[in-house]
Amino acid sequence: MTPQQAYDELFAISKEITTLHSIGSIISWDRETYMPSKGAELRAEQSAYISGRTHRLFIDPRVGELLAEAEAGAFGQNPESDEAANLREWRHDYDRAVKVPAELVEEISRTSVLAQSAWTEARRKSEFALFQPLLTKHIDLARQVAGYIGYTESSYDALLDEYEPGMTTAEVKRLFSALRDDLVPLVHAILGSSRQPKTEILHREFPLDRQKLFGEAAAAAFGYDLLGGRLDTVTHPFCIGIGPGDVRITTRYTLNFFNESFFGVLHETGHGLDEPNLPAAAFGGPLGDACSMGIHESQSRLWENFVGRGRPYWRYFFPRAQQTYPAALGDVTLDDFYFAVNAVSPSYIRVEADEVTYNLHIMLRFEIEQAIIGGDLPVADIPGVWNETFERYVGIPVPDDAQGCLQDVHWSFGGFGYFPTYALGNLYAAQIDAAARTALPDLDAQIASGDFQPLLGWLKTNIYQHGKRFRAPDLLRRVTGQAPSHEPLMGYLKAKFGELYGVA
C-alpha cells in the first residue's frame, strides 16, 4: 500500500464518519425544533447509536495503521498541503480517541445522562448540593481523561486541547489576566458614569411575526443564504452545520425585548456564515470543517457585536427597524437606539451579558475549572468562590446558585475546557476585525450602506475557506500578523464604550 492509498482509505473512513455526524446533526436539530415530546426516548437511542458507531469506526486499529502508512509518505514536506493538514488533524484526534479507554468514555456518557437531570433539578431548586455528587464524579472522570491524554504543564491542557487545539492553559491565563486587569476598571468606570442609555425603548412591543421577518432580512443582508439554511424557533438557540448546502440557525422571541431575538439571530448568523464558505469538495475531512471553537465563536461575535452593534450598521438598519416597528420606535432617535443596544450593566446570566462584562463571566468559570481540575478547589467550595469572585469582578452580589454556579449546562455533560473558547472568540474577533479594517479602509461606509459583501469576501478568503488547514493561533498570526492578544479587544471596548459613556 502506498502512502497515497493509505491516505485515500483514511479519507473514505473520515467521510463515512462525517456523513454519520451530518445525519446526527439533522436528528439533533429535529430534537430541538419539531420532535414530538414522546419521541425523546427513541431519539436518545438514535443519537447514542450514531455516537457509538462513529467512535468505533475511528478507533479501529486499521485507522492507526493507515495513519502510520500515510505519514511515512512525503505529504509532510508541505505542511500546508491538503494532505498534511488532514493527516495532522486525524492524528491529533486519533491519538486522543485511542488513549482514553472505552469504559471511561462510556462512564462519562452514563454520568452525563444522570448529571443532566440532577443539574436541571438543582438549578430549578437552586440547590448546589443536589448537583454536587455527580459534578464531583464528572471532575474525577475528567481528571482521569487528562491523565490518559497526558500533558506537560497542566492537566487542564489535556482538556482545553479538545476544544481549542494549539492553545495552552498558560497562554489563556496570561491573556485573561491581562484582559481582566484592563477590563475591571473599565466596567467600574462605565457603571459609575452619569450618562446612561434609555433601555426602556428596547422593552416596548415588538410583534413576533415582524421579529421573524426582520431577523431573516438581517441574516440575509449579511450573506446568509436562506436557500441553504433556515431560521426556526427553539428554547436554547444555536447554529448547526449539517453540511454543504444546509446550515441552520435558530432563535427565540420575546414580545417585550428587542435584543433577545435580533442579536441572537446576528450571533447565529455569524456562526452560519463560516460553514457555507468552507470548500464543499473538502467535506469529509478536517479541511471541510471549521477551524476551531474559538475561531467559530469569533465569527459569531464579530458579526453580532463588531458589525451588528456598531453605529454604521444602525445608520443603515435603524430606519428599517422604525418602518418595521413604527409604534415602538417611531419616536426614538438613532443615537438613543444605538446607545440602548450597547447598554452595559452588571447581570448574573452569562448568555444575557453585554459586550463588556461578558468576558468576566468566562474568566470566572475558567479560574474555577482550572482549580477544580488541578485539585486546588474542593467541589463543595465552588458556590462560595463563585459568589466572591463574581462580586469582585462584576460588582453585584449573587442572589442564589441558580443565577450563579448552576446557570450553565456545560459541566453537566463534562465539558471542562470549553468555556475559555467563548472569551478567546472575543479576543480573536477584535484582532480579525482590526485586520479587516486595515484591508478594507471603507468598511464602515460599506456597512452604513448595507453592503456586507466586502467584509464577507475578506473573511471567506482569509478565514472560512481554510477550514482546519491552520490551527487557530497560526491562522490568527497569518491573518493579523499577531499572536492571540487582549489588546485589540481592549482598544475596541475602550474607544466604543469610552465615547458612549463619556469615560476615559
Identify which of residues 286 and 425 has a Cβ nearer to a second copy in the complex. 286
Decide: 269 and 214 in contact? Cβ < 8 Å. no
Q: How far is the CB of 231 from a second copy (least distance, A)?
A: 11
Decide: 275 and 25 in contact? Cβ < 8 Å. no
Q: Among 34, 102, 150, 396, indicate the residue that binds a second copy (CB under 8 A).
A: 34
Identify which of residues 50 and 423 has a Cβ nearer to a second copy in the complex. 50
Site string for a second copy, 261-290 (x = CB under 8 A): ----------------------x-------
Q: Among 8, 9, 22, 409, indicate the residue that binds a second copy (CB under 8 A).
A: 22
Task: Please report the beta strands in 7-80, taking only residues with DSSP state E, as ranges in sequence order.
Answer: none
Sheet (strand 239-243) strand order: 231-233, 246-251, 239-243
Identify which of residues 31 and 204 has a Cβ nearer to a second copy in the complex. 31
Distance CA 201, CA 18 (A): 46
Nearest to 307 by CA among 336, 341, 350: 341
Confirm whether 200 is a catalytic residue: no
Helix residue ranges, H only, 275-400: 293-301, 311-324, 326-329, 334-341, 358-374, 382-394
Q: Among 5, 39, 392, 502, indicate the residue that binds a second copy (CB under 8 A).
A: 39
**DSSP 8-state assignment for residue 302:** I
Q: How far is the CB of 399 from a second copy (least distance, A)?
A: 36
Site string for a second copy, 283-322 (x = CB under 8 A): x---------------------------------------
Question: What residues numbered 186-245 form the site for a second copy, per CB under 8 A?
Answer: 225-230, 232, 242-245
481 contacts a second copy (rule: CB under 8 A): no
| Cα-Cα-Cα-Cα dihedral sign, residues 353, 220, 318, 252 | negative
Tell how far CA 59 is from the center of its chain: 27
3-state percent helix, strand, coil for the chain, nearest multiple of 5 = 70, 5, 25
Identify which of residues 42 and 349 has a Cβ nearer to a second copy in the complex. 42
Size of the site for a second copy (CB under 8 A): 36
Identify which of residues 88 and 460 has a Cβ nearer to a second copy in the complex. 460
Q: How far is the CB of 219 from a second copy (least distance, A)?
A: 13
Q: Rounded to 10 degrees, what is the CA torsion of 418, 419, 421, 424?
A: -160
Identify which of residues 29 and 317 has a Cβ nearer to a second copy in the complex. 29
Neighbours of 286 (CB within 10 A): 22
Of residues 171, 260, 268, 304, which has the active-site annotation? 268
Residues serving a catalytic function are 268
Which residues of this protein are in contact with a second copy, per CB under 8 A? 16, 19-20, 22-23, 26-27, 30, 34-43, 45-46, 49-50, 225-230, 232, 242-246, 248, 283
